[in-house]
Amino acid sequence: MTSADKFDRAALEQLVTKRFFYAPSFQIYGGVAGLYDFGPSGSALLNNIISLWRNHFVLEEEMLEVDTSIMTTYDVLKTSGHVDKFADFMCKDLKNGEIFRADHVIEAVLEARLQGDKEAKAAKAGKSAEEIAAEAAEAAAAKADKKKKKKKGTVVAVELADDVRQSYEECLAQIDNFSGEELAAIMKKFDIRSPESGNELSEPKEFNLMFESLIGPTGQLKGFLRPETAQGQFLNFKKLLEFNNDKMPFASAQVGRSFRNEISPRSGLLRVREFTMAEIEHYVDPENKDHPKFEDVKDVKLTLLPKSVQMSGKTDTVEMTIGDAVAQGVVDNQTLGYFIARIYLFLEKIGIKKDRLRFRQHMDNEMAHYACDCWDAEIHTSYGWIECVGCADRSAYDLTVHSKRTGEKLVVREQLPEPRTIECWQVEINKKTFGPKYKKEAKAVEEALMTLCDEKYAELAKNLEANGVGSVLVNGQDVEVGKDNVTIKRGTVTEHVREYTPNVIEPSFGIGRILYSLLEHSWWVREDDEARNVLSFPAVVAPFKCCLLPLSGNAAFEPFVRKYSRELRQAGVSLRTDDSKASIGRRYARNDELGIPFAITIDFETVENGTVTLRERDSTNQIRDSFENILKTLVNAA
Amino acid sequence: MTSADKFDRAALEQLVTKRFFYAPSFQIYGGVAGLYDFGPSGSALLNNIISLWRNHFVLEEEMLEVDTSIMTTYDVLKTSGHVDKFADFMCKDLKNGEIFRADHVIEAVLEARLQGDKEAKAAKAGKSAEEIAAEAAEAAAAKADKKKKKKKGTVVAVELADDVRQSYEECLAQIDNFSGEELAAIMKKFDIRSPESGNELSEPKEFNLMFESLIGPTGQLKGFLRPETAQGQFLNFKKLLEFNNDKMPFASAQVGRSFRNEISPRSGLLRVREFTMAEIEHYVDPENKDHPKFEDVKDVKLTLLPKSVQMSGKTDTVEMTIGDAVAQGVVDNQTLGYFIARIYLFLEKIGIKKDRLRFRQHMDNEMAHYACDCWDAEIHTSYGWIECVGCADRSAYDLTVHSKRTGEKLVVREQLPEPRTIECWQVEINKKTFGPKYKKEAKAVEEALMTLCDEKYAELAKNLEANGVGSVLVNGQDVEVGKDNVTIKRGTVTEHVREYTPNVIEPSFGIGRILYSLLEHSWWVREDDEARNVLSFPAVVAPFKCCLLPLSGNAAFEPFVRKYSRELRQAGVSLRTDDSKASIGRRYARNDELGIPFAITIDFETVENGTVTLRERDSTNQIRDSFENILKTLVNAA
């Protein structure tokens, strides 16, 4: 029913407002960018998605759900890396003070210039500007890395020299990968100005995206609103392992609000300052990432966009079962694969269209230095492909850094049946050359070298042997290490009790983004009636499952409304009674816009013989039957 | 089973930690006062209470649930009064810097001196200090206004002169009612020092309890973390009324996190900096506060502590049906009465003991100036009577102030069948005398005079007529008004369309406080086994409904664990599998501490014939039956 090309975003936005799915917060005060309130329909949809998430993940796997503080102390987020690294670069219009994200403004300006180049060339070739714009839009939608709509630059048809065009394209391809200095250099080199006013912009300045506050009356204890729910889970690892009777593997989970003080939020629910996340931290033995239930999902077929394809500059996806993907090493391990498949099944269940869902692997330069593999579930919308769920192997990073900082052991201890000798990567620092070479950075470089995952050790060892040098990521920068500074080799150790820091596989869901994508995928217009929008949510997540409509305000209907609504509620069927004076037709249209799958109408025949009509939203088919039978139908429908 | 006198708080606190109901946030970093994380058992209990709340209130009444931003702009909270009034007074130990809440420290010191006086007198009379302490504790527990345990002052047996004793007692009786200046004067007069160090304290300084932050990168937009979920609901009033097809009355509802930057949080979950609230804003016609379903609850019998009793210095409660309470004017109106009864039924359903639950009416000086009546559901715990739910008639205050500030009409419009003449209170300001008398305050006094509720108008009119003067509360202070400044009289106006600002009845639930009280009410110890704590939660809120226990690690049990757990989940029975190596007895004890009502044990007979044992938590009775029959029993049990 829904297809991307017929989609009319303005119509959906109008519906979203009219039926109060969501709206800007404090709208009567003028609103604030990036903050939204969910109305009754949006909030019910949100709650139903969360409830299904809980059933699908938490209850199914007996995950340990927690509910931790939003207000988080400086120390915790300093250790996790957020104080230093959770930042974007911003620049300011030097005349009117408008603020932009540096990478976004570069993209907007260069894309506009490339577009102007195309139009100028097309004009020469005799094509119309509209034809060209349509082609460009198509090309952009097909592009892999356009995840969000940025502010558009003004397009002026000016032809570019070939080398200039190429340097723009190269810059855009790496836009997520630049440091502040590099962004500044690019802005200078390409004379990037405000795409709105044409004014000059300030140099990019780092801006931490966490909301800051002070805890208590003395002003001495700095706190932040958490940027993710994960840290609260890691900090409770020891208690959770104990709660789980020290058994591994296990997972914790949390649903809750997180905050990012975005520089310049746009794109509705897709880039907001306050949002609901649902995160799972699955703790697994780093030596055995098999999953006991992998067998259950191995035949699930997925659309994958592996990093190897992207790195060759392409965006062709491959269809493959998760079983094959893991067997062929496309996906790193069974546990990661298991969750990717479970995420797919969840999104399908709530109503995301299969053909507009893909899993994109992060390229090496996109991943945090500690991550071994990461896949995003991307959903296609009118804004392009949107990252809605991340599924990363965070290795032992978080537990390791918190443990180091607090001195609290965050490990699993396993009595070995008999002592064993294991082979592992061993790192030897050459103290004599290390300190002098890295000076103040020595500690950070050493820490980075100590917490690599096996794949990275193997790569580094290979490079040291082959070239005498290799590199390691330290605070987001590649740092060179040479074989005179460090030796990396396989060695053996003997263990009696095995003590290890578990690795963490983290599926992390942005519920607001999923909800928005679902709205787009569920929206369509009845062919026979242009004005009639429908939202075809599956019953299981629809804001209300059933609408109860008395034919008119006639008093004879009242006892039936009361009786039936009580019985529907008791049977767990969520309900909206619409006894307004609008015609039945108008009320059906209203229900369609709210995505309510079923409507029960009470009329004079009901008063006579207890039968009602049941109308199904998508087909508009109606049947008449006793209320009791209709109730059974509804209960079975979800 | 549970009784207040056998209660052992230390034992419960130990259990809460051991079974990870909750624990201080960031505990491995040392923790922060007033911030707690809920573990798997606490979080499941919390979710189940919320889920029951949603069924009992939101679904039952088709309330319009919303989910609004936590981050709230300065303007909104300036208008609502929180920027100016949501504050406590704090003072500082001048030597060691420790911070106290001024009212709490005065209470602690004066109570300690009064206690010392009693002990000194008793010593004279030959009683032991222990006897006296026990008597005092009993008296304190019976007292109405002791809602939270404050830091105790050190008790020294010193006799007080009668007039001194009396002045202390008078001060304590009004402790919630003092301004900053008054608190400062009292501290000076009574030489109040730190109850911990004996050091001098600084003068009380006002401290706003909202966490402050900055929105966006410019630092120009000040925001606060919301102190209640209510404002987000009021701001959306217009959209909600439209969603409800302009029909009145209706209610909005919200469950979510709120924040108070407490000066010095103590008493575990009872006074925290971050907490989950569930709030209802029921919008009602000020001319008709009857409730259509009042009939359904009128026979609900409640324990009431009306303001008249408290004002006579007593704490004797009265037992009365809500029908009688409204009929006799003890409770102001049907809608308020309806919610009080519904709150009672909800608390009873989740497991709060009836005999430890009462409804206390606010005294006039406790209420906000706009409130007409307010009742707190207080639950008795080892900390005394704790306010867990407030149920206030907020009149038209909130909608009025937001409307005035934004210019957005927040009213209900009703076409009248024919024009009508209504009688109402009319306020005439005498501009000539008003400005000169109140100067800068004139606007605030006028606003206060314009937004009184009918009862307050009647009282003021009576006072003006009888004495020529009356008073009105302005920013928490009584301000005198005379009959030469203002005339208040009944008058008539003719209306065609009736336009009115609805009044708001607000039931507001502190979920954490309810959860803690429930823990106390549910806790007991098996008589035959001192070490065995039990938490007797009703099945409907128990963290997990059923525990699945294979007798041992024998591989023969595994397929049964898998099969039964799947079937239990599919039937909606929440589940914890305990396949640890501990003995069945130890595992039963663990379940009792988690408050899991049922345990299913899989043993060798199961493998033979598919029967299992079902154990009930409170009685420890066991039955053996086929799994299918047991499953039916469980599904029916909640």
pLDDT digits (tens, 9 = 90+) for A23-57: 999 999 999 999 999 999 999 999 999 999 999 99
Residue A19: list chain B partners with CB under 8 A.
243
**Residues of the domain holding B173:** 87-208
Do β-strands A301-305 and B611-616 pair in parallel, antiparallel, or remain unpaired?
unpaired
> What are the structure tokens assigned to A426, written together?
């061993």
φ, ψ for residue A79 (rounded to 5)? -65, -45
- DSSP 3-state assignment of A291? coil
pLDDT value at B147 more than 60 = no
pLDDT at A1: 45
Q: In what order do the strands lie in the sheet with B301-305?
A: B64-65, B250-259, B274-284, B503-510, B384-395, B373-381, B357-361, B301-305, B318-321
pLDDT at A147: 40
What is the 8-class DSSP label of residue B5? Answer: G
| B475 conformational bin, left if phi > 0, alpha if psi -120 to 50, beta if neither | left
The reply to whether A75 touches chain B by the CB within 8 Å rule is: yes
A53 with A100, same domain: the answer is no
φ, ψ for residue A564 (rounded to 5)? -65, -40
- Top residue of A16, A32, A88, A255 to mutate, by most chain B CBs within 10 Å, is A32
φ, ψ for residue A493 (rounded to 5)? -135, 155
Angle between helices A102-125 and A129-142 (to 10 degrees): 140
Does residue B255 contact residue B280 with C-beta atoms inside 8 Å?
A: no
Q: Do B217 and A46 touch (CB under 8 A)?
A: no
pLDDT value at B142 more than 80 = no
**A158 found inside a domain:** yes
pLDDT value at A277 more than 90 = yes
pLDDT value at A128 more than 60 = yes
pLDDT value at A227 more than 50 = yes
What is the percentage of chain B residues whose pLDDT exceeds 70? 94
Q: In what order do the strands lie in the sheet with A99-101?
A: A99-101, A87-92, A205-208
**Model confidence at B6, in pLDDT bands (50, 70, 90)?**
confident
pLDDT value at B2 more than 80 = no
Residue B339 has a CB neighbour count (10 Å cut-off) of 27
Residue with tokens 């919301």: B226
B197 with B284, same domain: the answer is no
- Top residue of B58, B68, B260, B540 to mutate, by most chain A CBs within 10 Å, is B68
Specify which residues A438 forms β-bridges with.
Answer: none
φ, ψ for residue B445 (rounded to 5)? -65, -40
Which residue type occupies A544?
Answer: F
What rounded mean pLDDT belongs to chain B?
90
Residue whose C-alpha is closest to residue B284's, from B506, B66, B505, B58: B505
Residue whose C-alpha is closest to residue B592's, from B524, B504, B507, B540: B524
**B408 found inside a domain:** no
**Model confidence at B266, in pLDDT bands (50, 70, 90)?**
confident
More confident residue, B152 or B439: B439
- Total domains in chain B come to 5
Does residue B84 contact residue B475 with C-beta atoms inside 8 Å?
A: yes
Distance CA B241, CA B251 (A): 9
Range of weakest confidence among A615-619, B157-161, B189-193: B157-161
Residue A223: list chain B partners with CB under 8 A.
32, 211
Q: Nearest chain A Cα to B221, which residue?
A: A32
CB–CB contacts below 8 A, A to B: 235
A258 with A361, same domain: the answer is yes
3-state helix, strand, coil in chain B (%, to 5): 40, 25, 30
What rounded mean pLDDT belongs to chain A?
90
pLDDT value at B610 more than 90 = yes
CATH code of residue A321: 3.30.930.10
Query: What pTM did the predictor assign?
Result: 0.86
Q: Which of B38, B72, B214 faces A66 most closely, judged by CB atoms?
A: B38
Tens digit of each residue's pLDDT (9 = 90 or more) over A562-585: 999 999 998 989 999 999 989 999
CATH code of residue B456: 3.30.720.200
Q: Which of B73, B246, B263 faces A26 most closely, judged by CB atoms?
A: B73
**Model confidence at B144, in pLDDT bands (50, 70, 90)?**
very low
Tens digit of each residue's pLDDT (9 = 90 or more) over A187-225: 999 999 998 899 999 999 999 999 999 999 887 899 999
Torsion over CA: A299, A303, A304, A309 (sign): positive
pLDDT value at A134 more than 80 = no
**Model confidence at B109, in pLDDT bands (50, 70, 90)?**
very high
Range of weakest confidence among A574-588, B254-268, B304-318: B304-318
Residue A221: list chain B partners with CB under 8 A.
32
Three-class SS of A79-138: HHCHHHHCEEEEEEECCCCCEEEHHHHHHHHHHHHHHHHHHHHHHHHCCCHHHHHHHHHH
A491 with A594, same domain: the answer is no
Tens digit of each residue's pLDDT (9 = 90 or more) over B217-236: 887 899 999 999 999 999 99
What is the 8-class DSSP label of residue B27? Answer: G
Stretch A129-158: mean pLDDT: 59
Do β-strands B357-361 and B477-482 pair in parallel, antiparallel, or remain unpaired?
unpaired
The reply to whether B243 touches chain A by the CB within 8 Å rule is: yes
Q: Which of A37, A242, A408 faces B28 most closely, judged by CB atoms?
A: A408
Residue B561: list chain A partners with CB under 8 A.
none
A327 with A347, same domain: the answer is yes
Residue whose C-alpha is closest to residue A543's, from A508, A509, A515: A515
Residue B52's alpha-carbon distances to A392, A405, B60, B301, B342, in angstroms, are 35, 41, 11, 22, 13
Q: In what order do the strands lie in the sheet with B622-626?
A: B575-577, B546-550, B598-602, B611-616, B622-626
A263 with A304, same domain: the answer is yes
pLDDT value at A499 more than 70 = yes
Cα angle B61-B67-B70, degrees, rounded to a multiple of 5: 140
Tens digit of each residue's pLDDT (9 = 90 or more) over A241-253: 999 999 999 999 9
Which residue type occupies B340?
Answer: I
**A467 found inside a domain:** yes
Stretch A525-547: mean pLDDT: 91
Q: Do B236 and A39 touch (CB under 8 A)?
A: yes
- DSSP 3-state assignment of A623? strand
CATH code of residue B125: 3.30.40.230
Which residue type occupies A562?
Answer: R
Residue A69: list chain B partners with CB under 8 A.
25-26, 35-37, 274
Does residue A389 contact residue A508 with C-beta atoms inside 8 Å?
A: yes
Residue B433 distance to chain A (closest CA, Å)? 35
**A379 found inside a domain:** yes
pLDDT at B139: 56
Stretch B141-153: mean pLDDT: 48
**Model confidence at B4, in pLDDT bands (50, 70, 90)?**
low
A311 with A271, same domain: the answer is yes
Q: Do A216 and B261 touch (CB under 8 A)?
A: yes
pLDDT at A2: 44
pLDDT at B146: 41
ipTM of the complex: 0.85
Does residue B245 contact residue B14 with C-beta atoms inside 8 Å?
A: no
**Model confidence at B5, in pLDDT bands (50, 70, 90)?**
low
Residue B596 distance to chain A (closest CA, Å)? 14
Beta strands (DSSP E) in A132-273 are: 205-208, 212-215, 221-225, 250-259
pLDDT at A85: 87
Q: Nearest chain B Cα to A212, which residue?
A: B213
**Model confidence at A454, in pLDDT bands (50, 70, 90)?**
confident
Range of weakest confidence among A106-115, A170-179, A263-272, A593-602: A170-179
pLDDT at A135: 62
Task: For residue B333, give the H/E element and its range.
Answer: none
φ, ψ for residue B496 (rounded to 5)? -105, -55
Distance CA B494, CA A580 (A): 28
**A430 found inside a domain:** yes
pLDDT value at A529 more than 80 = no
**B412 found inside a domain:** no
Residue A529 distance to chain B (closest CA, Å)? 23
Residue A580 distance to chain B (closest CA, Å)? 6
Does residue B385 contact residue B141 with C-beta atoms inside 8 Å?
A: no
Range of weakest confidence among A46-55, A432-441, B508-517: A432-441
pLDDT at B49: 98
A142 with A201, same domain: the answer is yes
A294 with A177, same domain: the answer is no
**B585 found inside a domain:** yes
pLDDT value at A359 more than 60 = yes
Tens digit of each residue's pLDDT (9 = 90 or more) over B333-376: 999 999 999 999 999 999 999 999 999 999 877 777 778 899 99
Burial of residue A493, with CB atoms counted within 10 A of its CB: 0-12 exposed, 13-18 middle, 19 or more buried: exposed
Q: Do B574 and A70 touch (CB under 8 A)?
A: no
- Number of helices (H) and strands (E) in chain A: give both, helices first: 24, 28
Range of weakest confidence among A499-513, B39-53, B185-199: B185-199
Residue B292's alpha-carbon distances to A137, B56, B335, in angstroms, are 57, 17, 9
A386 with A328, same domain: the answer is yes
**A491 found inside a domain:** yes
**Model confidence at A178, in pLDDT bands (50, 70, 90)?**
confident
pLDDT at B50: 97
A348 with A247, same domain: the answer is yes
What is the percentage of chain A residues whose pLDDT exceeds 70? 94
Residue B124 has a CB neighbour count (10 Å cut-off) of 10
B182 with B233, same domain: the answer is no
Distance CA A275, CA A229 (A): 11
The reply to whether A582 touches chain B by the CB within 8 Å rule is: yes
Contacts of residue B413, defined as CB under 8 A and 6 or more positions apart, other chains included, come to B246, B497, B498, B499
